[in-house]
Amino acid sequence: MRSIKRDPLPKRTNEEINQLVNDLMSKMTLKEKIGQLYQTTHDGAAITGPSYDASQNKKLINEGLIGSFLGLYDNMEIYRLQKEAVENTRLGIPLFFANDIIHGCRTSFPHNLAMACSWDPKLIEEASSVAAYESSHSGINMTFSPMLDIVRDPRWGRVMESFGEDPYLGQLYARAYVDGYQQDDLTSYDSVGACAKHFVGYGQIEGGRDYNTVDMSERVLRQFYLPPFEAAVDAGCEAVMSSFNVYDSVPATANKFLLRTVLKEGMNFSGFIISDYTSSGEIINHKIASDMKEVAKKCIEAGLDHEMVSNSYINHLETLVNEGSISESLIDDSCRRMLTFKYKIGLFDNPYKNIYLNFEDYWLKDEDRQKAKEVALNSVVLLKNEKVLPLKTKKIALIGPLAKSNQVIGPWCGKARDEDCVSLYDGLKRKFGDAIEINYSLGVDYNSHDESLFNEAIEAAKLSDVIVLAMGEQQWMSGEAQSRASIEVPGGQLKLLKELRKLGKEIVFVLFTGRPLDLREVEKNSDAIVCAWFLGNESGNALADILYGDYNPSGKLTMSFPYVVGQIPIYYNHLNTGRPYVPEDFYRSKYSDIPNNPLYPFGYGLSYTEFSYTNISFNQEEDEVSVHFTITNEGDFDGVDIPQVYIEAKSFSVSRPVNELKGFKKVFLKAGESKEIIIKVKKKEFAYYNIEMKKAVESGEYLVKLARNAEDIVSTKTISFREEIK
Ligand code: GLC
């Protein structure tokens, strides 16, 4: 590879790019235009579709029949493929290269459901710009991120890559990810294109079983599932990925209502729509197409611009046009979108812009590890603490499968490596060296019921002042295609917990998980519970700081932890029903064997200190409502609190949720410090899709609530709007 010049790339107006695209398209054959609509992979791994011989890639490139690749990190291979496209095809149109950089490239940040608990869009933007920097120096031009699925079912393994159950937070995070990746300058050598996914509704799969059926009303679609995508599109994300599931019994990938009516027209989306991996070919399994020719016809008519791995487009679109079954204008529109992206990102000016042979020099920089630690510290959620944390003693038992494990990245690990991760054991030793006595035992493995090490664990506990358990899921128990029917802590871990409880010593349960779990037994048998998710490279360092009080945990859950799997789906912004639960009334919406409420609700998280809210007042002005209060750190620890504001319509033309998050503030306070806080909610935030399916603020009364979490309401005020606002 000759040395690649990296001159600043020209910044062009949309008009200039349109002109360039028009000029280029005027020279392209129909076949070459179709070639721009195909994304292939380097290893031919077509999971459900027809596998093919990847060695054909060079031939396909030479014929101009490949527009992009996914799944490559090898800069030399990327260079070879790009050189082939630029130098050995008729028009020299460059390829683009995409990858799944979901929560970090080489520097591994906490997975997305963990990061969401920071309630810190700015921090997530910073994490995303690090991921963009490492990716854009590893041959990558686009990341298949952010994942913007609303999730309400922890049986689904992919909740780990989501931001949780709330659309308001989802909108803030969508913008943060897109801004972090694209940095408002796609010609920069440090940015990558963003691809919002999965469009749409994938998180509501029945039974929490991945790839299963989805069925929802248009109102639920518009009110809950679309807002994060609207925010991503508004933030300028360059691509949207269609999802595997159906909407209204039509696969999203071939769903004209979703792709054209809702996204391209409704949201005025000018980027491109890419399918998910073979999701176009899978419409045959969905039984709406009988062969790949029909797949091509249905998907291009629905508005799918770029086909990932399935190859219906390059094999059938030309025939479909030539036989008059589809108009060439459909292909022109998709081709235009693909070429526009390539011009915007500067690939026509410098096709090799993101290829660096010395790519490792850009990875795992100290400041990026520090940023990863900062994000990890902000992602941890303290679920219980009966005054046992922060730890004082340096004589601890450290027991469990995650104690010495560096497998703390979580699924969708990009180029991150377990060996770059700090285990909890190592984090404690790094922090205290020989000043800490750690009596270690594996105790039991993740999914094992083998009790042969129980006695070793019990002996380790007997030698110690406090028992720290590092337990939970193995990192690959969540992620894609990893749905679980049970959400219990797996294997014999709970049995060991109960055995250790008999010793009468204080127990700190550090939970490693990619999803909310059923923690009833953990809650009963532990004095403290720290939700550590999978925090990435800096896991052990962050947890050591938290366990010993050098960082006061501030995370708040963005996905409810069910009391038990039977409660699912469970989420805070549910409707009231006609028979809301009242303890003394029998004929009410309830279970005979468990409570209705989750074990830990949306917005919940403890601190080592206490925060009081006083002098609370509510103020309604022309176009906003504001909540004023004094927040005081009443304890001995500096810390961060995240007061939240929810609204509730007392009556509306359709049934609305009992709670809707509409504002929050992340506030740092020194011990004893007070601050005056104002949280404002614009009137338009009170809007909801009304009976005519129009977003409106109907006249009437609304509750405005200052809260610690979705269940702990501190103060409520009734306000009213006199006239309807569309
Ligand atoms: C996967 C995932 C999607 C990912 C794509 C490419 O099946 O559904 O999130 O971006 O394929 O790897």
Does the model's pTM come out above 0.85?
yes
Radius of gyration of the chain (CA): 26
Can you give the pLDDT at residue 5? 81
User: CA 17 from chain center: how many Å?
Assistant: 32
Per-residue pLDDT tens over the stretch 143-156: 999 999 999 999 99
Q: What is the distance in A from the centroid of ligand 1 to the CA of 74?
A: 19
pLDDT at 49 over 70: no
Please give the Cα distance from 420 to 407 (Å, whole number): 10
**426 in catalytic set:** no
Q: What is the distance in A from the centroid of ligand 1 to the CA of 142?
A: 13
Q: Which of 277, 306, 309, 478 to mutate to test the pocket of ligand 1 (most atoms within 8 A of CB)?
A: 277
pLDDT at 356 over 90: yes
Question: Relative to the CA of 145, which ligand 1 atom is closest?
Answer: 10
* Average confidence score pLDDT of the chain: 97
Can you give the pLDDT at residue 241? 99
5-9, 342-346, 423-427: which has the minimum mean pLDDT? 5-9
| DSSP SS3 for 363 | coil
Can you give the pLDDT at residue 31? 98
Amino acid symbol at 80: R
Tell whether omega for the bond before 42 is within 30 degrees of 0, i.e. cis.
Answer: no
User: CA 394 from chain center: how many Å?
Assistant: 36
Residue limits of CATH 2.60.40.10 in the chain:
611-721
Question: Relative to the CA of 197, which ligand 1 atom is closest?
Answer: 9
Residue closest by Cα to atom 6 of ligand 1: 277
Per-residue pLDDT tens over the stretch 701-721: 999 999 999 999 999 999 999
Can you give the pLDDT at residue 622? 87
Residue limits of CATH 3.40.50.1700 in the chain:
373-567
DSSP letter for 161, please: G
Amino acid symbol at 675: K
Confidence band (pLDDT; 50, 70, 90) for 338? very high
Average pLDDT over residues 281-307: 98
Homologous superfamily (CATH) of 14-359 is: Glycoside hydrolase, family 3, N-terminal domain (3.20.20.300)
Confidence band (pLDDT; 50, 70, 90) for 45? low
| DSSP SS3 for 396 | strand
Amino acid symbol at 711: E
70-84, 189-203, 603-617: which has the minimum mean pLDDT? 70-84
User: CA 725 from chain center: how many Å?
Assistant: 33
Any atom of ligand 1 within 6 Å of the Cβ of 100: yes
Can you give the pLDDT at residue 56? 83
Beta strands 142-143 and 96-99 are parallel
Any atom of ligand 1 within 6 Å of the Cβ of 276: yes
Nearest-10 Cα torsion for 689, 695, 698, 704? 80
Q: What is the distance in A from the centroid of ligand 1 to the CA of 297?
A: 23
Can you give the pLDDT at residue 218? 98
Please give the Cα distance from 112 to 90 (Å, whole number): 43
Q: Strands of 38-41's sheet, edge to edge? A: 272-274, 239-242, 193-199, 142-143, 96-99, 68-70, 38-41, 307-308
Average pLDDT over residues 297-315: 97
Any atom of ligand 1 within 6 Å of the Cβ of 144: yes
Can you give the pLDDT at residue 55? 76
Can you give the pLDDT at residue 52? 61
Any atom of ligand 1 within 6 Å of the Cβ of 277: yes
Any atom of ligand 1 within 6 Å of the Cβ of 197: yes
- Name, in order, each residue with C-beta under 8 angstroms of 16's C-beta and a sequence gap of 6 or more: none
Amino acid symbol at 517: L
Confidence band (pLDDT; 50, 70, 90) for 47? low
Q: Residues of 347-385 as b/e, b for ≥16 C-beta within 10 angstroms?
A: bbebbbbbbbeebeebbbeeebbebbbbbbbbbbbbbbb
Any atom of ligand 1 within 6 Å of the Cβ of 70: yes
| DSSP SS3 for 640 | strand
Residue limits of CATH 3.20.20.300 in the chain:
14-359
Q: Calculate what percentage of the chain has a pLDDT beyond 70.
A: 98
- Asked: is 373-567 a CATH 3.30.70.260 domain? The reply is no
- Residue 583, CA distances (Å) to 182, 376, 567, 596, 598 in order: 51, 40, 18, 11, 16
Confidence band (pLDDT; 50, 70, 90) for 3? confident
Sequence-distant contacts of 300-303: CB under 8 A, at least 24 apart: 300/37, 300/326, 300/330, 300/331, 300/334, 301/256, 301/326, 301/330, 302/253, 302/254, 302/255, 302/256, 302/258, 302/259, 302/260, 303/256, 303/259, 303/260, 303/263, 303/264, 303/273
pLDDT at 2 over 70: no
Over 254-322, what HEC string results?
HCHHHHHHHHHHHCCCCCEEECCCCCCHHHCCCCCCCCHHHHHHHHHHHCCCEEECCCHHHHHHHHHHH
Residue closest by Cα to atom 8 of ligand 1: 276
Please give the Cα distance from 390 to 303 (Å, whole number): 55
> Is residue 248 within 8 Å of residue 256, measured between CB atoms?
no
CATH code that applies to domain 611-721: 2.60.40.10
Per-residue pLDDT tens over the stretch 204-227: 999 999 999 999 999 999 999 999
Per-residue pLDDT tens over the stretch 643-667: 999 999 999 999 999 999 999 999 9
Please give the Cα distance from 576 to 591 (Å, whole number): 16
Please give the Cα distance from 641 to 669 (Å, whole number): 8
Catalytic residue among 210, 276, 527, 545: 276
Residue closest by Cα to atom 3 of ligand 1: 276
Confidence band (pLDDT; 50, 70, 90) for 406? very high
Can you give the pLDDT at residue 1? 60
Residue closest by Cα to atom 1 of ligand 1: 277
Q: What is the distance in A from the centroid of ligand 1 to the CA of 241?
A: 9
List the one residue out of 279, 249, 273, 243 whose CA is nearest residue 261.
Answer: 273
Please give the Cα distance from 83 to 86 (Å, whole number): 5
Q: What is the distance in A from the centroid of ligand 1 to the CA of 276?
A: 6
Average pLDDT over residues 287-297: 98
DSSP letter for 101, please: -
Half-sphere exposure of 374 (CA within 13 A, CB side): 14
Please give the Cα distance from 464 to 127 (Å, whole number): 38
Q: Which of 43, 100, 195 to mutate to test the pocket of ligand 1 (most atoms within 8 A of CB)?
A: 100
Q: What is the distance in A from the centroid of ligand 1 to the CA of 310?
A: 13
pLDDT at 290 over 90: yes
Per-residue pLDDT tens over the stretch 54-82: 778 899 999 999 999 999 989 999 999 99
pLDDT at 42 over 90: no
Q: What is the distance in A from the centroid of ligand 1 to the CA of 574?
A: 29
